[in-house]
Structure 1
Amino acid sequence: MSRPRAALRTAVVWEVLREALHRRAEAAGRSELDVLDAGGGSGHFAVPLARLGHRVTVVDPSPNALFALERRAAEEDVADRVRGLQGDAHGLLDVAERGGYDAVLCHGVLEYVDDAAEGLRNAVAALRPDGGVLSVLAAGLGGAVLARALAGHFTDAHHALTDPDGRYGDSDPVPRRFTADQLSALVADTGLKVAAVHGVRIFSDLVPGALVDTEPSAVEALARLEAAAAEMPAFHAVATQLHVLAEVG
């Protein structure tokens, strides 16, 4: 069966994360890992990770998102392995255990927090000091510039390109965007080793739906293209999102 087109948005991240957790489990000598999903919302990553057998704690400021998480976990029969806590990136360690997790996910968070560096330091502080994996997913500058330009909003595109935060104007819903170098440096400054950088949604946000939805094999072909380009630095500059995988030590 062909995967839903929506799955393309996170397919690259999911595959990289699953492999990283497998390596971490082997190194730790345990099949079940403790994972913290900061800003994990309704469990887009948390529930599949729980289905793999891991214990997942989701911290999110939205009560509605946490309610949806609880319902989703129950529907997938993993409620015993998923826990939701209300909190945000700046107060992460007020609700999550310092040094208590084998992996921390920080997806779609750094664009919105007041201080991205502080939020990232808190996420790193939650990792086990003897080894752990950090997965960071954030909005990419180049993808936004390209999308605005292709839509004919050339002034917006130029503004985003030259704005310190990568915003195209007051109507821009995203407070901050990153280049691959900026996001990698932010992660490296925490003391972690950057293991890999990936471009996410390089093509899928630009391809008209009609070109994909009418051809059964097109989604899989597009997924293969996304995966092949994800690690190529040339394509990081036009990705809608950027993913950085880092490790302790």
Structure 2
Amino acid sequence: MPDPSPASGGETPPRPSRASLRTAVVWEVLRDAIDRRVKAVGTDSLDVLDTGGGTGKFAVPLARLGHRVTVVDPSPNALFALERRAAEAGVADRVRGVQGDVHGVFDVVERGSFDAVLCHGVLEYVDDPAEGVRNAVDALRPGGAISLLAAGLGGAVLARALAGHFTEARQALSDPDGRWGAGDPVPRRFTADQLTELVAGAGAEVSAVHGVRIFADLVPGVLVDTEPGALEALLKLEEAAAELAAFHSVATQLHVLGEKHG
């Protein structure tokens, strides 16, 4: 699967890139959810909120599909890059960047005004993850979809252990935030159960859980870059394992898809 930038009709999709290993599973699940919402509401253009959407990795491809996307991000530099990226893609009229964060999101957008909300790479850094998820769900219209992506605890433990840092791996297991030490750059990690509880507690029904980057961060980069067909094969392996609960506990990231109760 290439990066989440849909090719126009008749074009040959580009060869998968290393970056696609980080986005392909989430993009496929998200696009399917968006398509279902389009059919449910009977319109070709949805209102999408991307909290912490940064430079538009998902917002711009969604806008290219014809949807209206509002990106709320605390970084002025990221929003400037988003504006440039949207202009280069020819979708500047469908992408709006607003400075803010998920805790104060209703200072800049209205409650219940979106068909889908993305909350990717946000919960690790906010003061109150439960409030963040509640705000994301409250921004949805009834029946709207929430796409939640966060750092997985098991993936970090496995990575530290395979690197020979056994004490840090054990520390991550026992730390309430899943941190392996003072030098850990990620403030908080989650298990699949923790994320699904947050979504359910916010008034949404969990419809799917996927593991993301199950193998990609463990495979030597030189193998992927030099072995013919290795990248494509690894991508297919990631997609095949993503839905299997047995692999959620070792994924670098976890993706939860939910639907707001009607």
Same fold (TM over 0.5): yes
SS at match of 2:117: strand
Match of 2:257 in 1: 245
Q: 1:224 aligns with which of 226, 232, 236?
A: 236
C-alpha distance in 1, partners of 2:37/2:198?
23
Runs of 4+ in 1 over 4 A off after TM superposition: none
Alignment check: 8 A CA contact 1:110 1:116 kept: yes
Alignment check: 8 A CA contact 1:2 1:219 kept: no
C-alpha distance in 2, partners of 1:205/1:92?
32
Alpha-carbon distance, 1:248 to partner: 1.6
Q: 2:37 aligns with which of 10, 19, 24?
A: 24
Q: Which amino acid aligns with 1:44?
A: K
Match of 1:115 in 2: 128
Alignment check: 8 A CA contact 1:112 1:176 kept: yes
Q: Within the alignment, does 1:189 sit opposite 2:204 as a pair?
A: no
C-alpha distance in 1, partners of 2:58/2:38?
18
Unaligned runs of 5+ in 1: none
Alpha-carbon RMSD across the aligned residues, in angstroms, is 0.7
Q: What TM-score results when the alignment is normalised by the length of structure 2? A: 0.93
Alpha-carbon distance, 1:239 to partner: 0.1
Match of 1:74 in 2: 87
Match of 1:205 in 2: 217
Q: Within the alignment, does 1:153 sit opposite 2:165 as a pair?
A: yes
Alpha-carbon distance, 1:215 to partner: 2.3
C-alpha distance in 1, partners of 2:39/2:50?
21
Match of 1:57 in 2: 70
Q: Within the alignment, does 1:36 sit opposite 2:49 as a pair?
A: yes
Alignment check: 8 A CA contact 1:193 1:248 kept: yes
Match of 1:125 in 2: 138
Q: What TM-score results when the alignment is normalised by the length of structure 1? A: 0.98
Deviations 1:106-147 (A, max 9, x none): 000001000000111111110013x20000000000000000
Q: Which amino acid aligns with 1:220?
A: E
Alpha-carbon distance, 1:229 to partner: 0.3
Unaligned runs of 5+ in 2: 1-13
Q: Aligned pair count?
A: 248
Aligned residues with identical type, % of pairs: 76
SS at match of 1:56: strand
